[in-house]
């Protein structure tokens, strides 16, 4: 079986064009990526499931359709890796948890359906922090994922497997979910592009829920253009998702190379040293990114989002509270793991004790406590007020500025095991990304150089709701400066 050896010049766009034209076959492309997985997956552990035979069947069908003269979608023959919390019909979907270790959903998530309709080939399901709860992909029941740039380091989380799969050359694109930074933070640590769309602009139907008012699905890619192409494919209204936005979904590609001349860009001062724990080299790279935008005609000024100082505290009340409710469905009765007991209550306790890992248990307990009688107003109610205040802060700033700029991750990739003993130290990794989740706005992480340790650094572009086209324009300018 012939295969094509993928390299850094391969993009989803170039693959689709070559497959559609007949220059390459979808099978040859797929075999090239499967070869990369065979050679290096044992070192990285990016996948929970590699779908070799299913992917080959899809690729053969793609080649048959093209031979028959059919015009396929914008991802024709493009391998894609899916985070293992997206439902795939008849294919194991674990959410990185023992409680769903052998569960096979009876349907596909809407995002999976749209990728398939666009011609993509699903190559596997990627490793993740259990139920998306973590910032390092060390909380998976199936072992940690390693960073392809340094195997002694974490890839970030919770979508660490998806980020690592793209960075390692296992797939040109992948899909993750972002509840508090779970796409953007691993994108930064692995040196790839990662996007959190506007809340409600990409369907969550078929996503195993962590915190329903925060979760959002988005793409990883090697280029801004590829991310935009995938975003257009998976986005748009879905009647199966009650939070789905019904307004027409805009194109991101028409103005991608338009540049930033005349745009007003605000640098969020609180994320440039106003909050402890953000490293000087990350701050410096963000300032260099601002200089690039200035040199290309943008007006750069520092802005203040005062409520961002309290985002971490608010998030770690709101998200666990929603998780406490969402994860109550895993009770050993309807589906997933069941550990027997003499009574129904004992069976439920045994199942959840054995099925959930320590971090999931910790967050369920935090959330249950925050929602309990006597503490609701003191904790959860106050967190919601901070969320409202943050939205007002953003509305005020966006009345004067087109986009905002900040670091993505407060540091480069840290060593495996370095922060697992201290949950609070781990939680700080989300400090720059959480604000966008709390207000539901889009944001993108773009690779922008490396730290003193040689590991990647990403900068974050934030935009108002449904203004992804503007966000991609700015990201494309930053990307061009890095090449």
User: What would the pLDDT profile of 279-325 be if each residue is shown by its tens digit?
Assistant: 999 999 999 999 999 999 999 999 999 999 999 999 999 999 999 99
Q: Would 63 be classed as within a structural domain?
A: yes
Active-site residue, 372 included: no
How far apart CA 227 and CA 445 sit, in angstroms, is: 11
pLDDT under 70 in the chain at which residues?
1-2, 483
How far CA 403 is from CA of 247, 409, 436, 463, 469, in Å, comes to 21, 18, 12, 5, 11
Choosing from 97, 136, 158, 308, the catalytic residue is: 158
Report if residue 308 sits inside a domain. no
Report pLDDT digits (tens) over 374-421. Answer: 888 889 999 999 999 999 999 999 999 999 999 999 999 999 999 988
Question: 47: domain CATH number?
Answer: 3.90.1300.10
Q: Is residue 45 part of a domain?
A: yes
| Domain with 206 in it | 12-234
* Residue closest to 234 by CA, chosen among 128, 119, 122, 113: 113
Q: Which residues of 161-194 are buried (b: 16+ CB within 10 A; e: fewer)?
A: bbbbbbbbbbbbbbbbbbbbbbbbbbbbbbbbbb
pLDDT at 483: 61
User: Phi/psi of residue 449, each to 5°?
Assistant: 80, -165
Instruction: Indicate whether 465 belongs to any domain.
Output: no
**Any domain includes 167:** yes
User: Which of 264, 332, 350, 267 shows the shortest CA–CA distance to 299?
Assistant: 264
Q: How far apart are CA 136 and CA 145, in angstroms?
A: 8
Q: What is the pLDDT of residue 416?
A: 96
The answer to whether residue 391 is domain-embedded is no
Q: Is 332 exposed, middle or buried (0-12, 13-18, 19+ CB in 10 A)?
A: buried
In a domain, 451, yes or no: no
Smallest CA-to-CA distance from 394 within 159, 153, 139, 199 is with 199
pLDDT at residue 423 in the model: 83
Active-site annotation holds for 182: yes
pLDDT at 377: 86
Say which residues have a Cβ less than 8 Å from residue 160's Cβ, sequence separation at least 6. 127, 128, 129, 136, 137, 145, 154, 186, 190
Q: Which of 182, 406, 436, 476 is catalytic?
A: 182
Do 459 and 405 meet the contact criterion of CB atoms below 8 Å apart? Answer: yes
Q: What is the pTM of this model?
A: 0.96
Q: What is the pLDDT of residue 271?
A: 95
Ordered strands of the 121-126 beta sheet: 47-50, 121-126, 79-83, 173-177, 217-221, 193-196, 443-450, 456-462, 403-407, 264-268, 299-303
Contact 121, 62 (CB under 8 A): yes
- For this structure, is 279 an active site residue? no
Distance CA 326, CA 320 (A): 10
Whether residue 222 is contained in a domain is answered as yes
Whose CA is closest to 49, among 112, 105, 4, 96? 96
| Contacts within 8 Å (CB) and 24+ apart, 249-253 | 249/201, 250/466, 250/468, 250/469, 251/469, 252/228, 252/468, 252/469, 252/472, 253/225, 253/228, 253/229
Count up the domains in the chain and report the number.
1
* pLDDT at site 8: 74
Q: Is 119 left (phi over 0), alpha (psi -120 to 50) or beta?
A: left
Question: Whole-angstrom Cα distance, residue 183 to residue 91?
Answer: 23
Catalytic residue among 83, 125, 196, 285: 83
Residue with tokens 């400066």: 481
């Amino acid at each position: 079986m012939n295969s094509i050896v993928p390299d850094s010049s391969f993009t989803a766009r170039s693959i689709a064009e070559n497959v559609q034209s007949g220059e390459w076959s979808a099978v040859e492309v797929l075999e090239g990526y499967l070869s990369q997985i065979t050679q290096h997956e044992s070192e990285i552990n990016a996948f929970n499931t590699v779908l070799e035979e299913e992917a080959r069947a899809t690729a053969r069908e793609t080649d048959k359709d093209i031979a028959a003269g059919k015009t396929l979608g914008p991802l024709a023959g493009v391998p894609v890796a899916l985070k293992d919390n997206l439902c795939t019909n008849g294919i194991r979907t674990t959410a990185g948890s023992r409680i769903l270790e052998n569960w096979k959903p009876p349907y596909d998530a809407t995002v999976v359906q749209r990728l398939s309709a666009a011609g993509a080939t699903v190559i596997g399901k990627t490793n993740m922090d259990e139920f998306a709860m973590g910032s390092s992909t060390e909380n998976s029941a199936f072992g940690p994922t390693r960073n392809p740039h340094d195997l002694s380091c974490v890839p970030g989380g919770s979508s660490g497997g998806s980020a690592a799969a793209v960075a390692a050359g296992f797939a040109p694109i992948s899909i993750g979910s972002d509840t508090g930074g779970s796409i953007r933070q691993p994108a930064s640590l692995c040196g790839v592009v990662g996007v959190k769309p506007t809340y409600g602009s990409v369907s969550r139907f078929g996503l195993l829920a962590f915190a329903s008012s925060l979760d959002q699905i988005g793409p990883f890619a090697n280029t801004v253009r590829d991310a935009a192409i995938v975003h257009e494919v998976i986005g748009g209204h879905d009647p199966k998702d009650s939070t789905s936005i019904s307004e027409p979904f805009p194109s991101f590609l028409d103005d991608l190379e338009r540049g930033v001349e005349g745009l007003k860009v605000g640098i969020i001062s609180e994320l440039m040293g106003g909050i402890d724990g953000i490293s000087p080299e990350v701050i410096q790279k963000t300032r260099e990114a601002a200089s690039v935008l200035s040199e290309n005609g943008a007006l750069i000024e520092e802005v203040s989002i005062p409520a961002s100082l309290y985002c971490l505290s608010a998030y770690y009340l709101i998200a666990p509270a929603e998780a406490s409710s969402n994860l109550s469905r895993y009770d050993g009765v309807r589906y997933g793991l069941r550990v027997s007991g003499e009574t129904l209550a004992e069976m439920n306790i045994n199942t959840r004790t054995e099925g959930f890992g320590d971090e999931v248990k910790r967050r369920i307990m935090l959330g249950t406590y925050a929602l309990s009688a006597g503490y609701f107003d003191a904790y959860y109610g106050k967190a919601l007020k901070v969320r409202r205040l943050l939205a007002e802060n953003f509305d005020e700033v966006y009345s004067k500025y087109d986009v905002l700029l900040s670091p993505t991750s407060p540091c480069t990739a840290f060593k495996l095991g370095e922060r697992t003993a201290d949950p609070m130290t781990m939680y700080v990794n989300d400090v720059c990304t959480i604000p966008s989740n709390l207000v539901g706005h889009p944001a993108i992480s773009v690779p922008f150089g490396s730290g003193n340790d040689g590991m990647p650094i990403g900068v974050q572009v934030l935009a108002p709701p449904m203004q992804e086209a503007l966000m991609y324009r700015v990201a494309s300018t930053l990307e061009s400066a890095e090449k």
